[in-house]
């Protein structure tokens, strides 16, 4: 079914299905963007708005998006300069009209029932639930299947329960959700004023800010395909002097202000220990200072803390070896 036919359905919408806006963000994803867009066109759910945004790609992405748009008639935004994920997404968000929003990276793709399952879950749960998420199938750059985000057995049964409902503490403590797995309620994004444009990446900040006030609904289904690219935002955080470390530190500062309980502070300390280790390994000294300060605020003054302060004062070069001995 073409998107032109879907637009006719959206205008009449005899079944009164809520509109879902897919904001497809592309930056040098010419190899994958056609597949991402086609996965939206092939959804079993009819009432869809697609907005494709190219963030000043240097490859053939813009040409590919323009060509597909001429056939199917969806909205396109072409940034004249690279704005990054947060600003680009917000441009699409304020142009969109859907009750529910999906942030789709152009190197990922949706399985046919992804939108249908998400809408049904959130409509059933009600306004106290701000986000729906699912499991994700992982592929490498050659298209070889690597498994799923959550551990499953040979019969694809979950090996461990996935938390849902009020999961603020779990999201503070560790990486729980694969970013492309989310469908978000528009009202939540509007309340948060979209993604924080001062940050270099969006997911961690969105998770904790939204989960502070809204519940999360999980469906035990594999509904999204994710490409594990070496150039992806998630892989950059482990590179020397990467730009994400400071953003993570700023989110942890927000969390320290939002926390209300000792349990939440304990979760934050677990997160800080992990992030501080990597900020020292990658020689992100400014973010390391912030993490050290937060540990002092949380009254964490262990031998590890003293060692971390000593490392920060010395700022040794080639510090990557530390990850092999801790």
Tens digits of residue pLDDT in 210-225: 999 999 999 999 999 9
Confidence (pLDDT) at 231: 58
Could you please report the per-residue DSSP string of 148-216?
Answer: ESS-B-TT--BSSPPP-BS-HHHHHHS--S-GGG-EEEHHHHHHTTSS-TTSS--HHHHHHHHHTTSEE
Confidence (pLDDT) at 124: 97
Read off the pLDDT band of 9 (50, 70, 90).
very low
Query: What letter would DSSP give residue 18?
Result: P
Span of 6-15, 36-45, 151-160 with lowest mean pLDDT: 6-15
Sign of CA dihedral 291, 297, 299, 301: positive
CA atoms of 110 and 181, how far apart (whole Å): 9
The pTM (predicted TM-score) of the whole model is: 0.89
From the list 28, 128, 30, 140, the residue with the least C-alpha distance to 85 is 28
Q: What are the structural domains, with CATH classification, of the chain?
A: 17-235 (3.90.550.10), 237-325 (no CATH)
CA atoms of 246 and 67, how far apart (whole Å): 38
Contact 90, 75 (CB under 8 A): no
Q: What percent of the chain has pLDDT over 70?
A: 89
Mean pLDDT of 43-70: 97
The string over 223-258, giving b where at least 16 C-beta atoms fall within 10 Å of a residue's C-beta and e elsewhere, is: bbbbbebeeebeeebeeeebbbbbbbbbbbeebbeb
Kindly give the interhelix angle for 244-258 and 285-297, rounded to the nearest 10 degrees.
Answer: 20
Read off the pLDDT band of 236 (50, 70, 90).
low
């Amino acid at each position: 079914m073409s998107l032109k036919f879907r637009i006719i359905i959206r205008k009449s919408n005899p079944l009164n299905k809520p509109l879902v806006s897919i904001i497809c963000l592309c930056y040098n994803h010419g190899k994958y963007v056609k597949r991402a867009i086609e996965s939206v066109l092939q959804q079993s759910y009819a009432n869809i708005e697609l907005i494709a945004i190219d963030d000043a790609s240097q490859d053939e992405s813009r040409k590919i998006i323009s060509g597909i748009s001429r056939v199917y008639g969806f909205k396109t935004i072409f940034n004249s300069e690279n704005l990054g994920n947060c600003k680009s997404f917000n441009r699409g968000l304020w142009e969109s009209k859907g009750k529910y929003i999906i942030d789709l990276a152009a190197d990922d793709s949706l399985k046919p029932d992804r939108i249908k399952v998400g809408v049904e879950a959130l409509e059933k749960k009600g306004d106290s639930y701000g986000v729906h998420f699912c499991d994700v199938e992982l592929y490498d750059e050659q298209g070889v299947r690597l498994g799923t985000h959550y551990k499953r057995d040979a019969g694809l049964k979950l090996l461990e329960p996935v938390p849902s409902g009020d999961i603020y503490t779990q999201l503070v403590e560790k990486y729980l959700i694969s970013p492309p797995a989310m469908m978000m309620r528009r009202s939540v994004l509007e309340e948060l004023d979209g993604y924080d444009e001062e940050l270099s990446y969006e997911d961690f900040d969105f998770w904790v800010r939204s989960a502070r006030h809204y519940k999360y609904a999980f469906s035990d289904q594999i509904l999204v395909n994710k490409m594990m690219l070496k150039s992806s935002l998630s892989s950059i955080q482990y590179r020397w002097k990467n730009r994400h470390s400071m953003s993570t530190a700023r989110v942890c500062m927000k969390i320290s202000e939002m926390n209300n309980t000792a349990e939440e502070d304990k979760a934050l300390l677990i997160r800080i220990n992990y992030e501080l280790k990597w900020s020292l390994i990658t020689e992100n000294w400014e973010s390391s200072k912030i993490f050290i300060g937060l540990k002092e605020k949380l009254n964490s003054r262990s031998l590890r803390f003293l060692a971390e302060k000593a490392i920060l004062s010395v700022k040794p070069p080639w510090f990557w070896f530390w990850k092999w001995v801790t």
